[in-house]
Amino acid sequence: MSSDRFIRERKGAWQRLEDLLSLLDRSSLRRLHREEVRELGRIYRRTASDLAIARAESRDPRLVNYLNSLVIRAHGRIYRADASEGRHRILRFYARDFPRTFRRTWRYTALAFAVFMIFGAVAFLGTWRDVEFSELAGIDTSWRASNTDAGERWWKTLNKANQIGASAIMVNNIQVMFKAFAAGALFGVGTLYVLAYNGALVGSVLALTYRAGYGNELLTFMSGHGVIELSCIFIMGGAGLLYGAAIILPGDLSRVDALRLRGREAIKLVAGCVPLLVVAGIIEGFISPAPIPPAIKLGVAAVTFIALYSYLILAGRE
């Protein structure tokens, strides 16, 4: 094919690509019509192919330079727009989708909260009356002897290596939350077990420290990070129960459709909790064990409570 014919047959597409790129310069990819976005991708690929042909057949150097600059310009606009769209999706998820999903599924979160608190209260009362009850909650007698019986404030060791401690706490918290969620696949029973076990463990440890005479110190330590950490346990537990309910009680949907729909909701809850757990880990590693007045730690608890639940209840409303 001659160079003149090549240009004549292709220049309409090149001009259209320039027009679309000029439109992008004044706007963004999201503002283009769906057909225009498809057209942009189609013409970009065709122009890139034309550039390869022009180079291979040693056509006019000015044509090669023109097509090269056009392809580079289109590539930059398309992939920069893709990155911007990705950031926009993330922001939209945390600003709207996650809190809306929390509000739609709050009953499952409330059930997770109830199970945790009931077993925590039973374990606290049982251990308060009889220290041997703590063994039913999974507390080893050797741990009890070297910590609560000895009056050891084990949480203060975090001050020796805050960065390492905070990282370890984040990893551990994320593992516990994912266990609570993943166990939902066992018809929700696994999630109930994780919630009950962790509730009983916390309740027993608190009772042991109160029996030893320094329970208020442990409660103060827990207060700073506990609002976010426990809230994530309840939300992730609710996600597991939501998934388990889809297996047992699909409602009017087929079991497959229920799993697909509720599984998508559960994944949103899980994804929303991950950055919250990072915040909780930072607080637990740097603020909770620090030798600062209890009022400050309680203040952190109050602020995080107001901020978190204002976000979950109000964000994303029309």
**Cα 189 versus chain centre, distance:** 23
Residue-level pLDDT, tens digit, the chain, 318 residues: 567 777 788 888 888 888 877 877 766 655 667 777 788 788 888 888 888 888 877 667 888 888 888 888 877 777 665 555 556 778 889 999 999 999 999 999 999 999 999 999 999 999 999 988 988 888 888 888 888 888 888 777 766 665 665 566 666 667 777 777 777 767 778 889 889 998 999 999 999 999 999 989 989 988 888 899 999 999 999 998 988 888 887 777 777 888 888 888 988 998 999 889 888 888 888 888 888 899 999 999 999 999 999 999 999 886
CB 149 within 8 A of CB 213: no
Residue of 70, 99, 59 whose CA lies nearest to 231: 99
End-to-end, the C-alpha distance of the chain in Å comes to 58
Q: What's the pTM?
A: 0.71
CA–CA dist 157, 222 (Å, integer): 15
Predicted pLDDT at 42: 85
Residue of 212, 198, 81 whose CA lies nearest to 151: 212
CB 32 within 8 A of CB 85: no
Predicted pLDDT at 105: 93
Residue of 190, 182, 176 whose CA lies nearest to 263: 182
Type of residue numbered 100: R
Predicted pLDDT at 210: 93
Q: Which two tokens stand for residue 15?
A: 């001009």
